Structure 1
Amino acid sequence: MKVAEAARLLGVTPTTIRIGLQKGVFPFGVAFKMDEHNKNYKYVIYPGKLKEYAGVFTEGEYQND
């Protein structure tokens, strides 16, 4: 899943997603550098964890109360 898609789902900016992943604030993905000299991050967002975090449920899923 792309950063922009995650941002749309949560109603925040892509920058918020990037910084949150870099700082380890969000539990639905990771940010990493390929090597320590690289200034650019790569982002991996796990769609299932993002949906759970956002409270989004698809057909056949439900929230336990």
Structure 2
Amino acid sequence: MSENIKVSDAAKMIGKSEQFVRVGLQQKILPFGTAVQLSSKWTYHISPKLLNDYVGGELK
């Protein structure tokens, strides 16, 4: 089972704002995670492997 990366950490890793990451995941534009709306609240899963692939393998 893979670990989940926080939105704030993903934002720092790609050099964008947390809101950029949230909206990108909600609109299925960013390929490294998913966003699910539960009632009026959103929840996010960011895959370490997919994020690593997205930033070009620079993460450890």
Q: TM-score, normalised by structure 2?
A: 0.85
Query: Cα deviations across residues 1-42 of structure 1 (Å, max 9, x unaligned)?
Result: 1000000000000000000000000110000023xxx11100
- Name the residue aligned to 1:11: 15
Q: Would you identify which runs of 4 or more consecutive aligned residues in structure 1 move more than 2 Å?
A: 56-59
CA RMSD of aligned residues (A): 1.4
Q: TM-score, normalised by structure 1?
A: 0.79
Structure 2, unpaired ranges of 5+: none
Residues 50 and 19 of structure 1: CA distance in aligned 2, closer, same or farther (over 3 Å):
same
Could you tell me how far apart the structure 2 residues matched to 1:58 and 1:45 are? 14
Structure showing greater radius of gyration is: 1
Higher relative contact order (CA 8 A, sep 6+): 2
Structure 1, unpaired ranges of 5+: 60-65
Amino acid at match of 1:13: S
Amino acid at match of 2:18: P
Q: Give the aligned length.
A: 56
